[in-house]
Amino acid sequence: MPSPRKFKKILIANRGEIAVRVMRSCRELGIGTVGVYSEADRAALHVRYADEAYFIGPSPSRESYLKMDTILEVAKRSGADAIHPGYGFLSENAAFAAACKDAGVVFIGPPAEAITAMGEKTAARRVAVDAGVPVVPGALHPLVDNEAILAEAKRIGFPLMLKAAAGGGGKGLRLVHRAEDLEAAVLRARSEAKSAFNDDSLYIERAILKPRHIEIQVLADTHGNAVHLFERECSIQRRHQKIIEESPSPFVTPELRAKMGALAVALVKKVGYVNAGTLEFLVDENREPYFLEMNTRLQVEHPITEMVTGVDLVKMQIRIAEGEALPFTQNDLTQRGHAIECRVCAEDPEANFIPNPGRIESLRVPGGPGVRDDSGVYEGFEVPMFYDPLISKLVVHAENRVAAIARMLRAVSEYKITGIKTTLPFFDRALRHPKFIEGDFDTSFVGRLQGENDERARATEIAMAIAAVATYRARRRSKAAPEGARGAPSMWWRLGNREAVNRL
Partner 1 sequence: MLFDAATTGKTARIEVRESQGRYRVIIGEKTLELDWVRTGENEASVLIDGVSHDAMVEKTPEGFAVLLRGDRFDVELKDAVKGEALGKVAHKGPLKLTAPMPGKIVKVLVKEGEAVEAGRGVLVMEAMKMENELKASKAGTVQEIKVKEGQAVEMGALLLIIS
Residues of the shown chain interacting with partner 1 in the complex, contacts defined by CB under 8 A: 59-60, 168-170, 239-240, 350-352, 354-357, 361-362, 364, 385-386, 409, 412-419, 421, 424-425, 427-429, 452, 456-457, 459-473, 475-476, 502-504
404: closest CA among 256, 254, 245? 245
Residues 6+ apart with CB under 8 A from 313: 217, 219, 229, 276, 298, 302, 305, 306
Nearest approach, Cβ of residue 205 and partner 1 (Å): 20
Nearest approach, Cβ of residue 168 and partner 1 (Å): 8
CB of 270 or CB of 456, closer to partner 1: 456
393: closest CA among 298, 274, 294? 298
CB of 332 or CB of 350, closer to partner 1: 350
CA 176, chain centre distance (Å):
32
CA distance from start to end of the chain? 50
Nearest approach, Cβ of residue 329 and partner 1 (Å): 41
297 tagged catalytic: yes
CB of 223 or CB of 473, closer to partner 1: 473
Nearest approach, Cβ of residue 44 and partner 1 (Å): 16
> DSSP code of 289?
E
Contact 92, 295 (CB under 8 A): yes
CB of 248 or CB of 389, closer to partner 1: 389
Nearest approach, Cβ of residue 350 and partner 1 (Å): 7
Q: What would you measure as the largest C-alpha separation in the chain, in angstroms? A: 91
> Catalytic: which of 15, 174, 257, 297?
297
Nearest-angstrom CA–CA distance, 345 and 195: 37
In three-state form (DSSP H/G/I as H, E/B as E, the rest C), the secondary structure along 167-233 is CCCCCCCEEECCHHHHHHHHHHHHHHHHHHHCCCCEEEEECCCCCEEEEEEEEECCCCCEEEEEEEE
CB of 83 or CB of 395, closer to partner 1: 395
Nearest approach, Cβ of residue 452 and partner 1 (Å): 7
Contact 204, 221 (CB under 8 A): no
Nearest approach, Cβ of residue 480 and partner 1 (Å): 13
What is the three-class DSSP state of 363? strand
Contact 349, 236 (CB under 8 A): no
Kindly report the CA angle at 244 between 241 and 246, in degrees rounded to 5?
Answer: 125
205: closest CA among 287, 264, 295, 290? 290
CB of 325 or CB of 464, closer to partner 1: 464
CB of 152 or CB of 347, closer to partner 1: 347
Catalytic residues: 297
